């Protein structure tokens, strides 16, 4: 089994090679400039690599990009093998990255929280305390007030 540093270096190399090959070497119209390689992970035995990608566009463009990546898998693996110079070139698996969808969901939740906070701020703008400003009794104050 390889050490983690070697797997990390190979993952970085795969990410760079795949991104450059998609940008310059693949002529598939389904893989336009809207495909971005976000991350790459390699197993400990350096046999399998998972390449995460995002597609900026609608669902149809995502499906086309996934089909384009599957059809270009052999060419991309050959390019990785030529650049890496390892005994066994890892098999490539392409996975759509869920990061943009997760970020969009978090932004929506933050917007809801901001509007809720604004409503609470409006409701409490002219409000007053239910009791006195300082509800805690201090020793000696009650005795002074009752003596007078």
pLDDT of residue 48: 93
Which CATH number does the domain housing residue 76 bear?
3.30.300.20
Residue 141 has a pLDDT of 66
Q: Is residue 16 part of a domain?
A: yes
- Domain coverage including residue 49: 4-98
Q: With respect to residue 120, please indicate whether it lies within any of the assigned structural domains.
A: no
How many CB atoms sit inside 10 A of residue 14's CB? Answer: 26
Residue 140 falls within a domain, yes or no? no
Domain count, the chain: 1
pLDDT of residue 146: 55
Global pTM reads 0.69
Task: Give the C-alpha separation, 55 to 94, whole Å.
Answer: 12
Q: What separation in angstroms does the CA of 45 have from each of 15, 41, 70, 86, 87?
A: 18, 12, 23, 12, 12
**Using CA atoms, how far apart are residues 49 and 43, in angstroms rounded to an integer?**
6
Question: Is 50 within the bounds of a domain?
Answer: yes
- Whether residue 74 lies inside any domain: the answer is yes
Under-70 pLDDT residues of the chain: 1-2, 32-33, 133, 141-148
Q: What is the largest CA-CA distance in the chain?
A: 97
Question: Is the residue at 103 inside a domain?
Answer: no
Residue 125: inside a domain? no
On whether residue 67 sits in a domain, the answer given is yes
Looking at residue 40, what is its pLDDT? 93
């Amino acid at each position: 089994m390889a050490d983690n540093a070697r797997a990390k270096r190979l993952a970085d190399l795969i990410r760079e090679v795949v991104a450059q090959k998609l940008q310059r070497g693949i002529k598939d119209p389904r893989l336009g400039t809207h495909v971005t390689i976000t991350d790459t992970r390699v197993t400990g035995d350096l046999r399998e690599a998972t390449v995460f990608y995002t597609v900026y566009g609608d669902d149809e463009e995502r499906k086309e990009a996934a089909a384009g990546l599957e059809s270009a898998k052999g060419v991309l693996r050959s390019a990785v093998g030529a650049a890496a110079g390892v005994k066994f070139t890892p098999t490539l698996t392409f996975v759509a990255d869920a990061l943009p969808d997760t970020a969009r969901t978090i932004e929506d939740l933050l917007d809801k929280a901001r509007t809720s906070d604004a409503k609470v701020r409006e409701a409490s703008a002219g409000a007053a305390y239910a009791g006195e400003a300082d509800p805690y009794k201090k020793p000696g104050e009650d005795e002074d007030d009752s003596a007078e």
